[in-house]
Amino acid sequence: MAIDIGTLDTFPKLLMHHAQVRGERPAIREKDLGIWQTWTWREFADEVRFLACGLAEQGLKRGDHVALIGANRPRIYAGIAAAQCLGAIPIPLYQDAVAGEMVFPIRNAEVSHAIAEDQEQVDKLLEILPQCPSLEHIYYDDPRGLRHYSAPQLESYDKLRELGRSRYRADPAFLEEEIAKGRGVDSAAMFFTSGTTGVPKGVVLTYTNLIERSKVVADWEGIGEDDVVLAFMPPAWIGQNIFSYAQPLVAGYCICCPESAETVTPDMREIGPTYYFAPPRVFEALLTQVSVRMDDAAAPKRALYRYFMGVARRVGERIMEGKPVSALERLRYWLGDLLVYGPLRNVLGMSRIRIAYTGGEAIGPDLFVFYRSIGVNLKQLYGSTETSVFVCVQPNDRVKSDTVGPAVPGVELKFTPERELLIRSPGLFKEYYKNPQATLEAKDSEGWFHTGDAGYIDADGHLKIIDRAKDVGALADGTLFAPKYLENKLKFFPYIKEAVCFGDKRDKVCAFLNIDMEAVGAWAERRNMPYSGYTDLASRDEVYALLRGCVEQVNADLAREPEIANSQIGRFLVLHKELDADDEELTRTRKVRRRFVGEKYAPLVEALYDGRQSVRVEAKVRYEDGRTGTFSADLKISDAKTFPPAAAKRAA
């Protein structure tokens, strides 16, 4: 199934190719009214043709920008393809962004047309309309609640499609010519980086960037038309876009859109994807669910689970990688697969997975090994929006939990003296839109992209990322301080949802913690502990004791790693609220904005270091409906035991 990406050098060309060679195979499935509805490649291509003609009728021209705002829906993906047919550049935006966050991308790219999923998205666009004069047309997919809207910019998707259909019927050659005009070097799409600091940047990727990278990895992993992917992350995230738009168009596989955000788990069980990509936090949340349910199970089941998970930890990975394992252990693992791992994979919807990737940020080694040991071929990859994702991928037989694998064919890596990673690859982005200075800073004259990540290549040739280069610091005594590394260790405990570590230029490391409401709530319930809500539960002494145990276990672990043994966590507190993207404490992809949190809660940080036992916090909270309120609470601060490097065995 060799696709010639020399001639099929744009996504619309690839789409029309698939419609021809595998027209009756499924391209997209969507669960609607409780039933999986299938669009074949032929149907999907028709949808795109009509939509593209409709957009052309409405005045969309080559080089214009189209915003797409919505969850994973066939029509959102059709919108992306339709814009590309005309040589316009689609910009998927995060559907959970607040209205204000959409102003910058829309103004920056002078977006003229937008396709919005539903009333919620339309409301946001109408709200910012006065600030975005370029926006002339808003098309909505789901008409619900929009009947009485009278904004002249509004038009339904269905009408647009009808308009396009008559145009296409009258003049089919027009679109074929437009598609033929596209070239691989043209801008294919633009993704706004969530930006942990400063204003967002629009990353412009060309067709060649996306198609070449997708193809190299699809060929390397043997991904083809029989594969199935469940698309459940925001389409505005490059990771999702690669897996549910670029790569299916290259490899011809089928993507499935879940019914709603809440039904992803059951939908996944129904579809049984073979190829899977999710950031670590999704794997983390799934494991938390499993742990919580196992804690609630009857004693014999718990014992069974504990015993066989022990077996899996010992030999599971070795068996998957085909390494030698004794016959007795094989027998035990086989039994475990029958009784525990198989059913567990089934519950997780992972029975058919051949390849699962995680990326976007570092994954806790224990979490990673958990999935591999139960027979899910989970692998790490490394990349970013600017590199069209694929930079490093772990090969099937050489997976190491603490590295992201060797470079994918075509990628060159090197490091600055400060350990910052530089990349040269065919997938490297064209530019930051209208921001030549940032482009120049990120991509030097020789074409090396400065990632901002610190790391090194290990003895096996695998890339190991420690942290963001600017975040890696040192304690007062010179010990390496890699906050992300510590936070990930903490977050592996099901009880800890988020952690923020401080310690740069300080004498010791201290941490803010967020409890995981689901796990700690269930834990409290089993102990008959009444609580009124997050703040109440988080401030309980029992919860502090629980978390102290977790922190001390991390410290015991750290004591065994000589270079960072001194970065054990001396003191911690449990925050009175969950860190939230709406309060700008997390990015939209839920990464902690450590510096912002440190500044926002500066008095708490000080209290951690000056030895106080509690600190009063006045907090402004923003409710979901936009109102704000304040409340104050006393936060307790707890000390945690640290271990000298030699005495680590006891607690572990």
Q: What x/- string results for residues 133 through 172 when contact with another protein is judged by CB under 8 A?
A: -----------xx-xx------------------------
Identify any residues that bridge with 622 across adjacent strands, giving them in sequence order.
Answer: 628
Residue closer to another protein by CB (options 527, 627) is 627
Q: Whose CA is closest to 336, among 312, 303, 360? A: 312
Pick from 263, 346, 416, 613: which binds another protein (CB under 8 A)? 263
* From 32-40, 93-101, 274-282, 299-307, span contacting another protein (CB under 8 A): 32-40
Asked whether position 96 contacts another protein by CB under 8 A, the answer is no
Figure out which of the listed residues 262, 541, 563, 618 binds another protein, where binding follows CB under 8 A: 262
Query: Is the Cβ of residue 147 or residue 527 nearer to another protein in the bound state?
Result: 147
Q: Is 260 in the site for another protein (CB under 8 A)?
A: yes
Task: Assign 163 to helix, strand or coil.
Answer: helix
CB of 622 to another protein, least distance (A): 14
Q: Smaller CB distance to another protein: residue 101 or 267?
A: 267
Judged by CB under 8 A, which stretch of 165-173, 176-184, 210-218, 261-269 contacts another protein?
Answer: 261-269
Contacts to another protein from residues 421-440, by CB under 8 A: none
Instruction: List 474's β-bridge partners, or say none.
Output: 480
Residue among 526 and 612 whose Cβ is closer to another protein:
526
d(CA 313, CA 294): 17
In the complex, what is the shortest distance from the CB of residue 259 to another protein, in angstroms, rounded to a whole number? 5
Quote the least distance from Cβ 260 to another protein, whole Å: 5
Return d(Cα 335, Cα 330) in angstroms, integer. 9
Q: Are strands 355-358 and 275-278 parallel, antiparallel or unpaired?
A: parallel
Least distance CB 537 / another protein (angstroms)? 17
Query: Does residue 625 touch another protein according to CB under 8 A?
Result: yes
Residue with tokens 């004498």: 507
Judged by beta carbon, residue 533 or residue 562, the one nearer another protein is 533
Instruction: Give DSSP secondary structure letters for 554-591.
Output: HHHHHHTSGGGGGG-EEEEEE-SS---GGGTSB-TT--
Two tokens at 25?
A: 């195979």
Tell me how far, at minimum, the Cβ of 623 lies from another protein, in Å: 8
24 binds another protein (CB under 8 A): no
Alpha carbon distances (Å) from 643 to 478, 487, 568: 18, 18, 8
CB of 517 to another protein, least distance (A): 14
- The yes or no reply on residue 624 touching another protein (CB under 8 A) is yes
* Binding footprint of another protein, residue count (CB under 8 A): 15
Closest separation between CB of residue 73 and another protein, Å?
13
Nearest to another protein of 145, 603 (CB atom): 145
Which of 157/449 has CB closer to another protein?
157
46, 96, 259, 536: which one binds another protein (CB under 8 A): 259
Nearer to another protein, 524 or 551 (CB): 524
- Report residue 420 as tokens: 């910052």
Q: Segment near another protein (CB under 8 A), from 89-97, 257-265, 468-476, 515-523?
A: 257-265
User: Minimum distance from CB of 144 to another protein (Å)?
Assistant: 7
Q: What gap in Å lies between CA 547 and CA 538, rounded to an integer?
A: 10
Residue 296 identity (one-letter amino acid)? D
Minimum distance from residue 426 beta carbon to another protein (Å):
42
Which tokens hold the place of 610? 């000056």
Binding of another protein by 34 (CB under 8 A): yes
At 238, list the tokens. Answer: 């490059």
Of residues 7 and 630, the one with the C-beta less far from another protein: 630
Supply φ then ψ for residue 47, to 5 degrees: -55, -45
Cα gap 50→56, rounded to integer Å: 10
CA distance 292 to 519: 6
Which tokens hold the place of 83? 């814009």
Our CB check for another protein shows the closer of 541 and 625 to be 625
Q: How far is the CB of 258 from another protein (least distance, A)?
A: 9
Name which of 147 and 650 has its Cβ closer to another protein. 147
Q: How far apart are CA 439 and CA 419, in angstroms?
A: 21
* Closest to 392 in 3D by CA, of 589, 207, 217: 217
The smaller minimum CB distance to another protein, of residues 348 and 413, is found at 348
Pairwise CA distance, residues 66 & 199, whole Å: 20
Select the residue interacting with another protein from 33, 299, 459, 646 (CB under 8 A): 33
- Specify the residue, 35 or 298, whose C-beta has the smaller distance to another protein: 35
Give yes or no for a contact between 220 and 48, defined as CB atoms under 8 angstroms apart: no
Q: Does 37 bind another protein (CB under 8 A)?
A: no
Give me the helices (H) in 272-421, please: 280-295, 299-311, 317-320, 327-336, 342-348, 365-373
Strands of 469-575 (E only): list them: 473-474, 480-481, 496-502, 509-515, 569-574
Degrees to nearest 5, angle at CA 331 with 327 and 335 = 170
For residue 564, the minimal CB distance to another protein (Å) is 42
Binding site for another protein (CB under 8 A): 32-35, 144-145, 147-148, 259-260, 262-263, 266, 624-625
